[in-house]
Chain A
Amino acid sequence: MLENNIFMVLSLFLVGGSVGMILFKETIFSSFSFLVAMLALAGVFALLNNSFIFLAQIMVSVGAVVVLGLMVILTLNRQDKNLPDESRKFMWILISAILVIPFALLLYKALSSLNLQFEEVDEGYGTLKMVGETLFSKWVLPFEAISILLLSAMVGAITIARKDNYSKKGDK
């Protein structure tokens, strides 16, 4: 019962944060509500007995990704005229929501045919020790591939964001 209540509160924050992210006009506000949504998602991971994923979500998704986004928003120092003019935003949101509904129903149909009851989990499920053992026994190759991916992402980000290779098209 308590778990259900916690799940209700967390999903309220999660859905509210992500809807707010779409609706806010100010970029910084939508980034903050995305932060709320990511924190609530970490809580849902904790509810699912995955304590290590909970920690990784807080450290990486909240602590690195969202904060990096906030820093970029603040350093860009954009004016109001740089933002797109979205006067018909709500109409577009309504239209795309109607378009997405059949897809969501299809996903729900497919997923609800799966097993629905949670079983009791083993002792130590989701802890750092067990996740580490699985990661370094069955999943070593994907882990190494991810390290190469992160290295190339780092090099690519530095190359893309370098200062000397942009044209001054809009900079009149």
Chain B
Amino acid sequence: MIAENFYILAITLFSIGIVGVISRRNLFVVYMSIELMLSSVNLLLVTLSRLHNSLDGSVMALLLIAVIAGEASIFLAMIIQLYRSARSLDSDKFVDLAQIKGIR
């Protein structure tokens, strides 16, 4: 068991998360891709903590799990609100902030 495999796994998960955020338009898939990126950082923290035989990384991973839980609650509330306002899960429909008034 060498640490390189764990690094490769974490990098793969992070890249899959980026690909999901860029390429999909379903709000739920975007949400889960962000969760996946956070979890891959978690995996890297735990690997480094095991590598250095110190528990600081594990504690950081524990705190990051709490951050993930907070992010999930906010994001799901936002998805519910967006779905109520436009009856859609398409992230391309929510462009109110991307447009300048009068130009459209």
Contacts and interface: CB of A to CB of B under 8 A. Distances in A.
Interface in B59-103: 59-63, 65-74, 76-81, 83-92
Interface residues of A, number: 92
A22 to B, nearest CB: 4
Interface in A39-63: 41, 44-45, 47-50, 52-53, 56-57, 60-61
B88 A34 contact: no
A121 B50 CA distance: 8
Interface of A: 3-4, 7, 11, 14-15, 18-19, 21-22, 27, 30-31, 34, 37-38, 41, 44-45, 47-50, 52-53, 56-57, 60-61, 64-65, 68-69, 72-73, 76, 78, 82-86, 89, 92-93, 95-97, 99-101, 103-104, 107-108, 111-112, 114-119, 121-122, 125-126, 130-131, 134-135, 138-139, 142-143, 146, 149-150, 153-154, 156-158, 160-161, 163, 166-171
A65 B84 contact: no
Interface residues of B, number: 77
Given A22-B19, A160-B77, A65 B72 contact: yes
29 contacts: A15-B13, A21-B20, A21-B33, A21-B36, A30-B29, A53-B62, A56-B65, A60-B68, A61-B65, A65-B68, A69-B72, A76-B79, A78-B83, A84-B26, A86-B25, A89-B23, A96-B18, A100-B22, A114-B7, A114-B51, A116-B2, A121-B53, A125-B50, A131-B62, A146-B66, A153-B71, A154-B73, A160-B81, A161-B81
Nearest to A139: B59
Interface string B22-53: 11111011011101100100111011111111
Contacts of B22: 92, 96, 99-100
A38 B74 CA distance: 20
Given A53-B62, A72-B76, A118-B2, A86 B24 contact: yes
